A and B are shown apart, each in its own frame.
Chain A
Amino acid sequence: MTLHMPPILTYALRRLVQAIPVVILIMIGTFLLLKLAPGDTVDALVGDMGGADAAFIARLRAEYGLDQPIWVQLWRYMVKLASFDFGWSFVYEQPVATVLMDRVGTTLMLMAASLSIAFTAGIVLGAIAARRAYSATDNLISILGLVFYATPSFFLSLMLMLVFSVKLGWLPVGGIKTIAAFYTGWDHVWDVVRHLIMPTTALSLIYLAFYLRLMRASVMEVADLDYVRTARAKGAREGRLMTHHIMRNALLPVVTLLGLQFSTVLGGSIVVETIFTLPGLGQLAYQSVVQRDMNTLMGIIFLCAIIVVVVNFLTDLLYARLDSRIELA
């Protein structure tokens, strides 16, 4: 069977198979967290109804399978998760899956914007710093990187708000679009972009600092390699050397980091979305913690984990394309 498949497909398939035990472990993990949390679905339900007698509670427990042995409960829970059934949210009075689907778009948009800005600016600044190593430009870029790295996103968010919303009045202070403005077409797009500028900046700067540092080190390492010296000896211009010879290999560790950090960025969106009242998964996670909405919280964890697994899979494929040394088959 593998004989007739292109190697990249075999590689992709193998990476997918390797992801299965990780997903199963996450399912078990969320189940354990749910069991650790005080109170279960029936407690929430009974609390919602304002109390019930013991016989009724017992009947409800049986109906929800909570009287079954723990292994049976775990198995049923995993089957439900696999079909993206996360149970009922007693706060939103909706299936958790519906609540999540309403929110996932905003978060993905915020993350895509933040990561692409951080990645692009990070590799460009990192490459510049490396090519002018130990110069004033390099020092300036490196100091900027250190300060970005040390600034918590919530503090940066407040400072951006203070300057651009409170003092200058240029940007809206929160939300994803102007309420009751009913913009359409390009006006709507522009409106959303204006709302996303500050959250994106707040979320991206720390990752920009990561990529910048890694890219600087990586370019300096690759630029010392023999093949680059050979190319230079053969008369390649510095600009061409950078774009055609150094860049591709120097990017490898940065691409790896991009995949690894995706889950951290999802975590960071909690603070930023909460501050800028963006209706995404991060804000939902915070509200679920405050309201002890465990079903929703577990749904978020599982959905985030799946997103991270998919992104890691895609970065692996990208990595395999970039690095010809990787054995595909």
Chain B
Amino acid sequence: MTLADTEIAPPEPPRYVMFWRRYKRNRAALLGLFLFALVVLMALTAGIIDPGDPLRRAGEPLTPPFMNWDTPLGTDQLGRDVLSGVFYGARISLLIGVVATLVAIVIGVVIGALAGYFGGWVDDVLMRITEAFQTIPNFVLLLTLVAIMGSKIEWITIAIGIVSWTAPARMVRAEFMSLRHREFVDAARNLGVSNTSIIFREILPNAMPPIVVYASVIMALSILMESALAFLALGDPNYASWGNMIGQGRAVLRSAPYCAVIPGIAIILTVLSFSLLGEGLNDALNPRQKK
């Protein structure tokens, strides 16, 4: 017994350990994780590090960065603190990014799962609807929805989700089509498991990895869309947003370019962190894909 025991391979480490081992192999992904943690930290500490409304007047208008310790990154033409705007902007960007992505994934999963699982006319109808949505330029549709329903932040978030679900729907559909005739699905069906249970408890968990990876792309695109809306002054005026800061900074581009440059760098680093994070997730969740 003692001899046999030594020949048994050590138990595989828990899944999250494996996940982390695969993830950290990619150096760029580690950088992405670091940037992401930084943005999350900014979003969480927005009220603590820099208390007070980011839209308030904090100092002399157009104080350049590093001139006054009360406003380390300077102030804009209305005297609003740029650093405070960057912190609160991180909160809004992340919030909109996460919720819009959830909305898009939920719609995409439901439509893609139904189309891929049932096939036939259900698939035909749902795919034509998906194509119609893909055909309409999504930013034009987003503007239209905002024009109809107004610029409240809740509505903007949902609208971004509504214009972003087509790609995940197609991915889920493709996964379901390849999984629905596998043996484990047949087995479940023969045991009398209902369609709903097969879809959500048997197939969906197996179809999720590529969707999780793609979620990072949707998140990045959502943040870009929100900032573009805010840049065009169509965002919610009651919240500090990076896009809106850049839009306002445009007026003083000649004399005080930092007003637009600082929030611009914030957007670039945030979107970059999502891209790198997505690559790391891909390495960790679909290890076979890469040689």
Q: Is A202 an interface residue (CB 8 A)?
A: no
Q: A154-B231, A155-B268 are in contact. Are A297 and B147 (CB under 8 A)?
A: yes
- What residues of chain B have their CB less than 8 Å away from a CB belonging to chain A? 128-129, 131-132, 134-144, 146-148, 220, 224, 227-228, 231-232, 234, 243, 246-247, 249-250, 253-254, 257, 260-261, 264, 267-272, 275-276
B268 touches which one: A29, A38, A147, A268 (CB < 8 A)? A147
| 7 interchain pairs, CB-CB under 8 A | A38-B148, A146-B272, A150-B268, A154-B246, A264-B137, A266-B137, A268-B139
Chain A residue, CB-CB nearest to B227: A152
Let me know if A285 is at the binding interface, CB within 8 A: yes
Interface residues of A in 268-319 (CB under 8 A from B): 268, 270-271, 274, 285-286, 288-290, 292, 294, 297, 300-301, 304-305, 308-309, 312
Q: How far is the CB of B191 from chain A (nearest CB, A)?
A: 38
In the complex, the 7 A-B pairs of residues with the closest C-beta atoms, listed nearest first: A267-B139, A267-B137, A150-B271, A25-B132, A155-B264, A266-B137, A150-B272
Across the interface, do B268 and A151 meet the contact criterion of CB distance under 8 Å? yes
By a CB distance below 8 angstroms, the chain B residues around A152 are 224, 227-228, 231, 243, 264, 267-268, 271
**B291, closest chain A residue (CB):** A224
Number of contacting residues on A, CB 8 A?
A: 47
Q: Flag whether A181 is at the interface (Cβ < 8 A).
A: no
Taken together as a complex, chains A and B put the C-alpha atoms of A270 and B228 apart, in Å, by 10
Do residues B254 and A166 form an inter-chain contact, with CB atoms below 8 A?
A: yes
Central interface residue in B132, B135, B146, B234, by most chain A CB within 10 Å = B135
Smallest Cβ-Cβ distance to A294: which chain B residue: B147
Q: How far is the CA of A215 from the CA of B132 in the complex (A)?
A: 27
Determine the distance from Cα of A95 to Cα of B42 in the docked complex, in whole angstroms: 50
Residues of B within 8 Å of A158, CB to CB, are 246, 249-250, 253, 260, 264
- Measured CB to CB, the nearest residue on chain B to A206 is B224
| Alpha-carbon distance A243/B68, docked complex (angstroms) | 59
Whether A72 sits at the interface, judged by CB under 8 Å, is no
B228 x A29 contact (CB < 8 A)? no
Chain A residues with CB under 8 Å of B247's CB are 154
* A292 CA to B147 CA, complexed, in Å: 7
Cβ contact of B136, chosen from A21, A288, A305, A312, cutoff 8 A: A305
Query: What is the CB-to-nearest-CB distance from B61 to chain A, in angstroms, rounded to a whole number?
Result: 20
> A290 to B261, alpha carbons, bound, how many Å?
26
> By the criterion CB–CB under 8 Å, are B268 and A162 in contact?
no
A297 touches B144 (CB 8 A): yes
Minimum CB distance partner of B264 in chain A: A155
Using a CB-CB cutoff of 8 Å, which residues 131-165 of chain A contact chain B? 146-147, 149-155, 158-159, 161-162
Complex Cα gap A29–B145 (Å) = 12
The chain B residue with its CB closest to the CB of A29 is B132
Q: Within A184-219, which residues are at the interface with B (CB < 8 Å)?
A: none
* Bound CA span A268–B140, Å: 9
